[in-house]
Amino acid sequence: MIETRTLKIINGKTCVMSPEIEQFLSGMKKTIEDVVMPNLSDRFAQEQASIVAASLGFLGLIQDKTFHYELLENQEYKRVLTDINELLSNTFSAPAAIIETTTKVTDHFDTDKVDDPTYLRPYKFIRGSNEAMKELLCEFIQQQAEMPTELRTAFEALMKPFFKSIELRERSWVKALGFDPEAEQQADIADLLYKDGLLNIGKR
């Protein structure tokens, strides 16, 4: 049985203490490992229970960083899409389809403004905005073949550091799962998310 509330006596008064999410996940993981798995005889069931336990451990490590992960990505997608829009809007050689995508980006920024205090938004709003911006970026990438050589070169120069940053962050995010053969060489996700105790947004 996993407790969801803890009673504590403080100065003679009974207080209801809510456990941290990390403690809750750790308790479920321990229950599976110490109670469920030893009583499973089927090998497949044991393997699946082991995967569930490992997943709970992983969630325990990253659950307090999920909001900031999405918030950092939100800022980075806004930054790169703003740069792309400026690049493509300041040229007379961009095809009409690409200009149409720049208009979609501008429309999206009416909903999730670049300078808005996005950190006050609900997680689902930020996550949804990030997914929408990923789709817009994919449209630009698919339109690369239509770009004149000089424009395409400038576009690729914007993309390289952006994707490098995403790759490093994603590999660090799943580091604890142990699937990456070079996991030990990856930075801890907290080291990428935070700098001097603050979210590493890196404003220009």
Domain-located, residue 204:
no
Are 33 and 118 contained in the same domain? no
Residue 185 lies in a domain: yes
What is the chain's pLDDT, residue by residue, as a tens digit (204 residues)? 444 445 555 555 555 555 677 788 888 888 998 999 999 999 999 999 988 988 888 888 888 899 999 999 999 999 999 999 999 887 767 788 888 999 999 999 999 999 999 999 999 999 999 999 999 999 999 999 888 888 899 999 999 999 999 999 999 888 877 777 887 888 888 999 998 888 988 654
Start-end of H helices in the chain? 21-31, 43-62, 66-89, 96-111, 123-142, 149-173, 189-193
Q: Comparing C-alpha atoms, which of 108, 121, 22, 106 is closest to residue 71? A: 121
Domain count, the chain: 2
Residue that terminates a domain, selected from 47, 62, 77? 62
Of the three residues 24, 45, 62, the one that is the final residue of a domain is 62
- Nearest CA-CA partner of 117 in 151, 157, 147, 74: 74
Encode 63-93: b = buried (16+ Cβ within 10 Å), e = exposed: eebeebbbbbbbbbbbbbbebbbebbeeeee
- The residues facing 15 across adjacent strands are 8
Round the CA-based radius of gyration of the chain to a whole number and report it: 23
Structure pTM? 0.79
